[in-house]
Amino acid sequence: MRIKWVEELFSSLMISLGALMASFSVICILIPNDAIDYGTAGIAIIINKLTGFNLSLCVGLIFLPFLIAGTVILGKRFGLKALLGTAIYTIGLEVFEKVPFELNTEHFLAVVFGGAILAAGLALILKNGGCIDGSEIFANIVVKKVSEKLGKNFSLTYLLIGFNACVYTAVFLLINRNAALMSLLVYVIATSIINHFTDRFEAIKQVTIITKEPEELVRAIREDLNKTCTIMDSYGAIAGENKTLICYVNYFEMQKMKEIISAHKGTFSTVSTIDEILR
């Protein structure tokens, strides 16, 4: 129990640090150099630029419905971590607006540097089960509903690309093309770095579990994640006869999967990234 408490505290600290890094990058580097964040934060920045409405309030109001939906679909634990990250992110936006910081270099270099800091912060948040971008929650909900209806597993990639394509098209039409191109550069840099540290979070994950008591695991996976498993007979050189379970989930469902596995002792599990599932 004590170790679990320490892990949760460390996770919360990493989410808070990541949110501060992201807000610093957006306010002190990206916006002053004619670039914006992507996802729902990008929408908030567009509204702020067009109307002058308070940026942190825009971010909070736009993210709120996604946060509620994510809590309902992905669970209270995810909702609390997402709430923590968003709260620290919006506070950071307010604080860094008052910090006299100026990066005296070319716009291109500043955007590359800012995109890297933003990506590092977002990677910390995602690695610790949090989220501060509604586009990722939106994509997860759509994929989850479509998968339940069709019985197939889908990647988040195309939905995320489509969502952000709409954001950058809006930047191009409503602000200017330089801002759109600089923002697109931020997206390319950020997603490349995030994918490196999260092993392509938008891809499908294959979870392989070796256990002697598969029934309770299968029941928990079905009830908590609404997922099914492939069950195979296997044999360990030391443990002897056991069962191997194979289940496919997305990145945001991994936290719940880890909770299920940790609640069942005597299991051995691995996670792999899957590019495509053929049927």
Q: What is the pLDDT of residue 235?
A: 86
- Judged by average pLDDT, the poorest of 59-68, 145-154, 180-189 is 145-154
Residue 279 domain flag = no
Q: Which domain holds residue 217?
A: 204-274
- For residue 196, pLDDT over 90 is answered with no
The count of domains in the chain is 2
Residue 136 has a pLDDT of 86
pLDDT at 1: 55
Q: What is the Cα–Cα distance from 14 to 77, expressed in whole angstroms? A: 16
- Report the CATH number at residue 252: 3.30.70.120
- Domain-embedded: residue 217: yes
Q: Are residues 117 and 216 in the same domain?
A: no
Annotate the chain with three-state secondary structure: CHHHHHHHHHHHHHHHHHHHHHHHHHHHHHHHHCCCCCHHHHHHHHHHHHHCCCHHHHHHHHHHHHHHHHHHHHCHHHHHHHHHHHHHHHHHHHHHCCCCCCCCCCHHHHHHHHHHHHHHHHHHHHHCCCCCCHHHHHHHHHHHHHHHHHCCCCCCHHHHHHHHHHHHHHHHHHCCHHHHHHHHHHHHHHHHHHHHHHCCCCCEEEEEEEECCHHHHHHHHHHHHCCCCEEEEEEECCCEEEEEEEEEECHHHHHHHHHHHHCCCCCEEEEEEECCCCC
Q: Quote the pLDDT of residue 193.
A: 92
Res 279 pLDDT > 80: no
Same domain, 181 and 236: no
Q: Are residues 121 and 184 in the same domain?
A: yes
230-236 sheet: strands from edge to edge:
230-236, 240-249, 204-211, 268-274
The answer on 215 and 184 residing in a single domain is no
Q: Which of 140, 169, 198 marks a domain boundary?
A: 198
How wide is the angle at C-alpha 187 spanned by C-alphas 101 and 50, nearest 5°?
65
pLDDT, tens only, 93-114? 999 998 888 776 788 888 999 9
Let me know whether 124 and 218 are in one domain.
no
Residue 11 lies in a domain: yes
What whole-number distance in Å separates Cα of residue 15 and Cα of residue 9? Answer: 10
Residues 41 and 88 in one domain: yes
User: For 78-91, what is each residue's pLDDT tens digit?
Assistant: 889 999 999 999 99
* Same-domain status, 123 and 35: yes
Supply the pLDDT for residue 29.
92
Domain shared by 185 and 227, yes or no:
no
| Buried/exposed code over 12-32 (b: 16+ C-beta within 10 A; e: otherwise) | bebbbbbbbbbbbbbbbbbbe
Per-residue pLDDT reduced to its tens digit, 9-25: 899 999 999 999 999 99
Give yes or no: residues 172 and 224 share one domain: no
Domain end marker among 164, 198, 232:
198
Judge if 218 and 151 occupy the same domain.
Answer: no
Q: Where residue 6 falls among pLDDT bands split at 50, 70, 90?
A: confident
Same domain, 178 and 210: no
User: Do residue 24 and residue 136 come from a single domain?
Assistant: yes
> Domain ends where: 198, 231, 251?
198
